[in-house]
Amino acid sequence: MKLQPVRGTHDLVGESVAKHNFIVEEARSTVDNYGFEEISTPIFEFSEVFKRTLGEASDIVSKEMYTFEDRGGESITLRPEGTAPIARAFISGGMARQLPLKFFYQGPMFRYERPQKGRQRQFHQLGIEMLGISEPQADIECLSLADVFLKKIGLEGKYKLVINSLGDEESRARYVEALTSYLESHKSDLSEDSVKRLEKNPLRILDSKSEQDQAIVKDAPSLSEFLSESSKTHFEAVTAGLEQLKIPFEIDETLVRGLDYYCETVFEFRTELIGAQDAILSGGRYDKLIEQMGGASTAGIGFAAGIERLALLVEKTPVLDPIFSVVPLGKSAENACIAICHELRSQGFRVEMAYSGNMSKRMKKADKVGAIGALIVGEDEIDKGIASWKNLKTGEQQEISLNSLSSFLSKIETEA
């Protein structure tokens, strides 16, 4: 039996799970202030949900999906991202009358990519989707929420925001035509990958990492010249909003994003601190997605952040409350100690019981779990209604009444 995790997957345990939970909790508390509700869609969907929305020519659909036939003969795909499933849930759940809607989500995603630092095959995303708001205010709120969240987890100064406008459908179609004709005239100098993209997805050549392609892209027609008046006005309102909120940004006309459903504003928060996989949070508008899936025309904008990538940047591990140990003096005091643990835990204290062994073994166990102090309770103490408190750092000992345990421990917690 192979016992190592499958390539590109990992176990979350110890510090990695603590960081993961810290990131998700901070995201939850941020989105709460913006009036979001949480949604959790299934980990797998009918393959069509992704194939028809992300684009046949996108990297995800053409080579990265975990797709299989289930026992009923249905083609199923493990979700590579969360936006298409939420659009599907919106339509199948008949939520159109509840618009506008603001959803927060988090969970595992699956892409068969080449694993490297910051890139796994099972990774975790947290994200938001705002449905039914076509005004640029939604773009601004989405971007400012992302910025507030990244600062909240301690990443201030470690990232930059890059944005662009893809324009509406007509602007984009006109641009793709001009771009294709320009690139056709340089076909012989393009990289092999880009020659393939030229037919199916020419926009992706713009963000090609190959130097050969970049030399050609440098003089390509620029997207902004093809934007319709309404796309221009929308984008100007977004950038003005960012300026007003003092959120620095950079416009990069080669930012096109890899998925077909995007239109108008697209963006990435990037870092220079974790290597090649530098996008820590990215997203954009998708005003045609829901309609294209068979729902009523509904605007949408959102983002997703890779939790593993954020974890590479998060320095502080969450500060947890201190642990108290309860040490029974001999077998006869064990039941009373279980009751004391139960009571203290229900009051919100972190408590560990040193279950077995002689006194010295039990004290060693208290030390090992990292307790700051131990409540030592024997039969005599129970009769007198007291416990002895031992500070495990200083060794100081004192007696306290069982009735005032909770106020005593609260005081220790605040001093710790």
223 binds ligand HAM, rule: CB under 6 A: no
Span interacting with ligand HAM, options 171-179, 242-250, 278-286, 329-337, rule CB under 6 A: 278-286
Residue the block writes with tokens 């203290």: 344
Q: How many residues does the chain have?
A: 416
Distance CA(126)–CA(310), nearest Å, equals: 10
Establish if 305 lies at the interface with ligand HAM (CB under 6 A).
yes
Q: Name, in order, each residue with C-beta under 8 angstroms of 122's C-beta and a sequence gap of 6 or more.
A: 6, 8, 9, 10, 108, 109, 110
Any contact of residue 104 with ligand HAM (CB under 6 A)?
A: no
Q: Of 51, 79, 88, 111, which one interacts with ligand HAM (CB under 6 A)? A: 111
Residue type, 54: L
Question: Does 282 participate in binding ligand HAM (rule CB under 6 A)?
Answer: yes
Q: How far is CA 12 from CA 9, 16, 19, 21, in A?
A: 10, 6, 10, 10
- Cβ-based nearer residue to ligand HAM, 308 or 352: 308
Closest residue to ligand HAM, Cβ-based?
306
Stretch that binds ligand HAM, among 65-73, 89-97, 123-131, 331-339 (CB under 6 A): 123-131
Which of 249, 309, 310, 313 has its CA nearest to residue 277?
309
What does the block give as tokens for 403? Answer: 């009735």
Residues 165 and 352: their CA atoms lie apart, in Å, by: 55
- Nearest-angstrom CA–CA distance, 196 and 219: 20
From 127, 167, 295, 373, residue interacting with ligand HAM (rule: CB under 6 A): 127
Closest approach of ligand HAM to the CB of residue 304, in Å? 4
CB contact set of 321 (below 8 Å; sequence gap of 6+): 349, 350, 413
> Of 281, 336, 351, 382, which one interacts with ligand HAM (CB under 6 A)?
281
Of 41, 47, 106, 125, the residue at the interface with ligand HAM (CB under 6 A) is: 125
- Residue 62 CB partners (closer than 8 Å, separation 6+): 56
Nearest to 238 by CA among 265, 270, 262, 267: 265
For ligand HAM, the binding residue among 167, 302, 328, 378 (CB under 6 A) is 302
Which region, judged by CB under 6 A, interacts with ligand HAM, from 24-32, 131-139, 273-281, 357-365?
273-281
Binding flag, residue 309, ligand HAM (CB under 6 A):
yes
DSSP string, 108-148: EEE-----BTTB-SEEEEEEEEEES--SHHHHHHHHHHHHH
Establish if 326 lies at the interface with ligand HAM (CB under 6 A).
no
- Letters for 129-168 (x = contact with ligand HAM by CB under 6 A, - = none) are x---------------------------------------
Q: Please state the closest distance from residue 335 (CB atom) to ligand HAM, in A.
A: 49
By the rule CB under 6 A, 202 interacts with ligand HAM: no
d(CA 185, CA 122): 40
Q: Applying CB under 6 A, does 290 fall inside the site for ligand HAM?
A: no
CB of 34 to ligand HAM, least distance (A): 15
Least distance between ligand HAM and beta carbon 64 (Å): 8
Dihedral of CA atoms 252, 293, 299, 262 in degrees, nearest 10, equals 0
Binding mask 349-388 for ligand HAM (x = CB under 6 A): ----------------------------------------
Q: For helices 136-152 and 15-33, give the axis angle rounded to 10 degrees.
A: 140
CA atoms within 13 A on the CB side of 372: 14
Stretch touching ligand HAM by CB under 6 A, among 112-120, 132-140, 198-206, 374-382: 112-120
Q: Does residue 22 bind ligand HAM (CB under 6 A)?
A: no
Q: Work out whether 83 is an interface residue with ligand HAM (CB under 6 A).
A: yes
Instruction: Supply the DSSP symbol for 60.
Output: I
How far is Cα 243 from Cα 49, in angstroms, rounded to an integer?
Answer: 37
Which of 81, 147, 168, 264 binds ligand HAM (CB under 6 A)? It is: 81
CB of 358 to ligand HAM, least distance (A): 49
Per CB under 6 A, residues contacting ligand HAM are: 81-83, 111, 113, 118-120, 123, 125, 127, 129, 279-284, 302-306, 308-309
